[in-house]
Chains A and B, each alone.
Chain A
Amino acid sequence: MSELKERTVTVNGVAARVWEKGEGTPAGYFPGYGGAPRWHAFLDALAAKRKVIVPSLPGFPGGGLGHLKCDSHLDWVIACGDLLDFAGLSGGDLIGVGFGGALAADVAAIFPQKVRKLALVSAYGLYDDKDPIANIWAQRPGAAPKMLCVKPERFAELTAMPNGYNPVEWRIEMIRAAEAGARLLWPFGNTHLDRRLGRIKQPVLLLRGSEDKVMPASYQQKFASGIGANAKTATIAGAGHLAELDAPDEVARAILGFLD
């Protein structure tokens, strides 16, 4: 496997970090709550078979203050479409988790030529009053990791400050990631994606962790019904909302099996 490479692209005048590792057909990753502040085991498992590219979403770690350029959902989707182009991902496969899943789904729906195959893990974008998504922004301090992961220590590892970093600036970067997610999806995560799911013609894999405390199980079926016959579903046993942190190898195996 090749070494992790880092470069910078510019979207809306704001620098965005792009990580890349591995060889083969490109597969992009739009992470969920908290973004991707560091390279982690799931990405390594993917990079064993694919060239994995992780562009930083606006406002998420590595994405600077790009979220402040996005006022509408259209702004977000165009920024993410541009990111795919600039990061060398256009025409490749795309994996979206949680918050990132909402964006990945819309990019696939609106710019079909940019996405070959789409894997969504507990993606946001829909909202059902009768079966609401848990409100990740209305939790007591310290409660979020337990909602996001069966193994909350995995989320703590993801967001732990690297050596040599300024603690204040690291904390701000983590809060900014939460803010960017809120800017995109406040208050429910409803981007009215239901109106566009039928436009997704690519093959789609819909994954969820069986222990997801954020996104009810019914949402996987809602996505499947909205997309149609090109969608298939699978469940990762014992994993939570950020399933790729709880079960990196299992999620990577399921996705690689689908992409190949």
Chain B
Amino acid sequence: MKICWFHLMPYTDLPEDFQQKHNSVWVDIDSRLFDPKRAHHMYNDFMDELEFAADCGFDAICVNEHHSNGYGMMPSPNLIASTLARRTRDTAICVMGNSLALYNPPTRVAEEFAMLDCISGGRLIAGFPVGTPMDTCYAMGQNPSMLREKYREAHDLVMRAWTEKDAFSFNGRYNQIPFVNVWPRPVQQPHPPIWIPGGGSIETWQWCAEMDYVYAYLSYFGYKAGMETMQGFWSEMKRLGKDLNPYRAGFLQFVGVAESHDEAMRIYKEPAEYFYGRSLHVDSPYAMPPGYTTEETIRRKFGSQVMKVATSGGERMAKVATDIKFIEDEGYVILGSPDEVAEKLLKVAREMNVGHLMLLLQYGNMSKDLANYNTKLFADKVMPQLRSLFDDKWEDLWWPKPMPKAERAIPARVTREAAE
């Protein structure tokens, strides 16, 4: 099984009364709360944490894209990924990903991902999210009724840009480009592995099956809430005649590991309560623009818990969870000693049949020291218990195939002193 270390890059200094005094962490978050000099340290701490996770032996380090968002400070994950490509050697770099419809023209994504694949020597995982309503429709002004059409067309354009050897003209519904001729090209041929983050839409499952892409369910509400979605995904794969290779899937889970369960409850209480209380304080008007959810998904989900929460009068998008006991009981965060965490994650991975575990080991206002403690303890004592799961039966066909190590560049900064 592959174990990926995921960073959202949350702003860590939201005030204690954020929920009471501010409308939302997303879209209309008050820019006066943002201190660039503090963010300087946050970004550098976060990149240190990602690099530390790579040193600790995680299979991949992951970044993602959000806009006008107080829990996700990466409008451009590619900027972060390019520094990680230089500062890490073997770890896969998962950009999860670029919201294709937001790039005009989308060949920009083909170019930048190809750059990342070249810089990293072929270690890129290319994530193509549609993007949330908050990011795409409200913060970036995309028309919700056209978003998915634009996304699909952008996907087709990027894939052709990577795979066709000769320049071509693209006469699409939303993009017309006289010369598509991406330069550079990705190291991984015909293209880097494609992972699709999704929120449970049946069309996305079908599309992942058709295209042979990884489906990654990125929910902040843990394994209990995610089970229904992943079961739906696998029954659709079965219906479509696909094998049940667990590496077709990824799943996001928050984790806090310590020497004991009590200790985990104590030390992760503040960052977990910060994340679910402040970081997920999202106002409901931005969650459901008409047309964002497809009619087929509405048909399937009508009556389900998901739709009830999403459409209930005035209820917040996130369940407001400000108590660590509730957070743990609901499965949002898995907390415990290394053995307890390993046992739970093995159970989750088996029951969900998920080969790519995407872990959030830094969340909320967690300090770098605590994030690194969580990361190291996990790597030392939990990871070895998970590693071999699935590998006796299944091959990960969706993992980067980098250049042989001996052929890869070693970033070597030459100092002026050394040159003299």
Q: Quick check: which of B45-53, B191-199, B234-242, B288-296 contacts chain A, the rest being far away? A: B288-296
For B293, the closest partner residue in chain A by CB is A175
For A186, the closest partner residue in chain B by CB is B143
Q: Mark B203-221, 1 if CB is under 8 A from A, else 0.
A: 0000000000000000000
Are the C-beta atoms of A182 and B290 separated by less than 8 Å?
yes
- Interfacial chain A residues near B145, Cβ < 8 Å: 67-68, 179-180, 182-183, 186
Which residues in chain B, 264-323, are within 8 Å of chain A measured between CB atoms? Answer: 283-286, 288-291, 295, 298-299, 302, 311-315
Residue from B143, B173, B284, B298 within 8 A of A141 (CB atoms): B284
A142 on interface, CB distance cutoff 8 Å? yes
Are the C-beta atoms of A186 and B298 separated by less than 8 Å?
no
Which residues in chain A, 33-63, are within 8 Å of chain B measured between CB atoms? Answer: none
Are the C-beta atoms of B290 and A178 separated by less than 8 Å?
yes
Are the C-beta atoms of A171 and B302 separated by less than 8 Å?
yes
A142-B314 CB under 8 A given contacts A175-B290, A178-B290: yes
- Interfacial chain A residues near B141, Cβ < 8 Å: 186-187
Expressed in whole angstroms, the Cα–Cα distance for A187 and B289 within the complex equals: 10
B138 on interface, CB distance cutoff 8 Å? yes
Number of A-B contacts (CB under 8 A): 68
Which residues in chain A, 144-183, are within 8 Å of chain B measured between CB atoms? Answer: 167-168, 171-172, 175-176, 178-183
Are the C-beta atoms of B290 and A181 separated by less than 8 Å?
yes
Whole-angstrom distance between the Cβ of A19 and the nearest chain B Cβ: 24
Are the C-beta atoms of A183 and B314 separated by less than 8 Å?
no
A129 on interface, CB distance cutoff 8 Å? no
Are the C-beta atoms of B291 and A182 separated by less than 8 Å?
yes
A172-B298 CB under 8 A given contacts A141-B314, A180-B145, A183-B146: yes
Expressed in whole angstroms, the Cα–Cα distance for A172 and B307 within the complex equals: 13
B57 on interface, CB distance cutoff 8 Å? no
- Interfacial chain A residues near B184, Cβ < 8 Å: none
A74 on interface, CB distance cutoff 8 Å? no
Whole-angstrom distance between the Cβ of B411 and the nearest chain A Cβ: 44
- Interfacial chain A residues near B286, Cβ < 8 Å: 138
Whole-angstrom distance between the Cβ of A41 and the nearest chain B Cβ: 26
Are the C-beta atoms of B312 and A141 separated by less than 8 Å?
yes
A137 on interface, CB distance cutoff 8 Å? yes
A140 on interface, CB distance cutoff 8 Å? yes
B105 on interface, CB distance cutoff 8 Å? no
Expressed in whole angstroms, the Cα–Cα distance for A124 and B231 within the complex equals: 45
Are the C-beta atoms of B302 and A142 separated by less than 8 Å?
no
For B145, the closest partner residue in chain A by CB is A183
- Interfacial chain B residues near A168, Cβ < 8 Å: 298-299, 302
A139 on interface, CB distance cutoff 8 Å? yes
A3 on interface, CB distance cutoff 8 Å? no
Are the C-beta atoms of B146 and A71 separated by less than 8 Å?
yes
Expressed in whole angstroms, the Cα–Cα distance for A168 and B313 within the complex equals: 18
Whole-angstrom distance between the Cβ of A172 and the nearest chain B Cβ: 5
Q: Mark A113-127, 1 if CB is under 8 A from B, else 0.
A: 000000000000000
For A135, the closest partner residue in chain B by CB is B285
For B285, the closest partner residue in chain A by CB is A138
Are the C-beta atoms of A140 and B298 separated by less than 8 Å?
no
Which residues in chain A, 219-237, are within 8 Å of chain B measured between CB atoms? Answer: none
- Interfacial chain B residues near A183, Cβ < 8 Å: 143, 145-146, 291
- Interfacial chain B residues near A143, Cβ < 8 Å: 285, 314
Whole-angstrom distance between the Cβ of B287 and the nearest chain A Cβ: 9
Whole-angstrom distance between the Cβ of B27 and the nearest chain A Cβ: 8
Whole-angstrom distance between the Cβ of A197 and the nearest chain B Cβ: 24
For A59, the closest partner residue in chain B by CB is B145
Whole-angstrom distance between the Cβ of A144 and the nearest chain B Cβ: 10
Expressed in whole angstroms, the Cα–Cα distance for A168 and B301 within the complex equals: 10
Whole-angstrom distance between the Cβ of B301 and the nearest chain A Cβ: 10
Are the C-beta atoms of B313 and A140 separated by less than 8 Å?
yes
- Interfacial chain A residues near B285, Cβ < 8 Å: 138-140, 143
Are the C-beta atoms of A179 and B144 separated by less than 8 Å?
yes
For B174, the closest partner residue in chain A by CB is A71
Are the C-beta atoms of A140 and B314 separated by less than 8 Å?
yes
- Interfacial chain B residues near A167, Cβ < 8 Å: 302
Residue from B138, B144, B284, B299 within 8 A of A172 (CB atoms): B299
Are the C-beta atoms of A137 and B289 separated by less than 8 Å?
yes
Are the C-beta atoms of A179 and B291 separated by less than 8 Å?
yes
Q: Mark A181-201, 1 if CB is under 8 A from B, else 0.
A: 111001100000000000000
Whole-angstrom distance between the Cβ of B147 and the nearest chain A Cβ: 10
- Interfacial chain A residues near B315, Cβ < 8 Å: 141
Expressed in whole angstroms, the Cα–Cα distance for A68 and B146 within the complex equals: 8
Are the C-beta atoms of B173 and A176 separated by less than 8 Å?
no
Whole-angstrom distance between the Cβ of B197 and the nearest chain A Cβ: 23
Are the C-beta atoms of A141 and B288 separated by less than 8 Å?
yes
Expressed in whole angstroms, the Cα–Cα distance for A148 and B290 within the complex equals: 17
Expressed in whole angstroms, the Cα–Cα distance for A55 and B314 within the complex equals: 34
Whole-angstrom distance between the Cβ of B169 and the nearest chain A Cβ: 20
Expressed in whole angstroms, the Cα–Cα distance for A174 and B284 within the complex equals: 19
Expressed in whole angstroms, the Cα–Cα distance for A187 and B311 within the complex equals: 21
For A139, the closest partner residue in chain B by CB is B285
- Interfacial chain B residues near A139, Cβ < 8 Å: 285
Whole-angstrom distance between the Cβ of A157 and the nearest chain B Cβ: 19
Are the C-beta atoms of B313 and A141 separated by less than 8 Å?
yes
Closest 7 CB pairs of A and B: A179-B291, A178-B290, A183-B145, A179-B290, A142-B313, A138-B285, A186-B143
Give 8 A-B contacts (CB < 8 Å), ordered by A residue: A138-B138, A141-B284, A143-B314, A172-B298, A172-B299, A175-B298, A186-B137, A186-B143
Known: A175-B295, A183-B143. 13 other contacts (CB 8 A): A68-B145, A139-B285, A140-B284, A140-B285, A142-B313, A142-B314, A175-B298, A179-B291, A182-B143, A183-B145, A186-B143, A186-B144, A187-B141
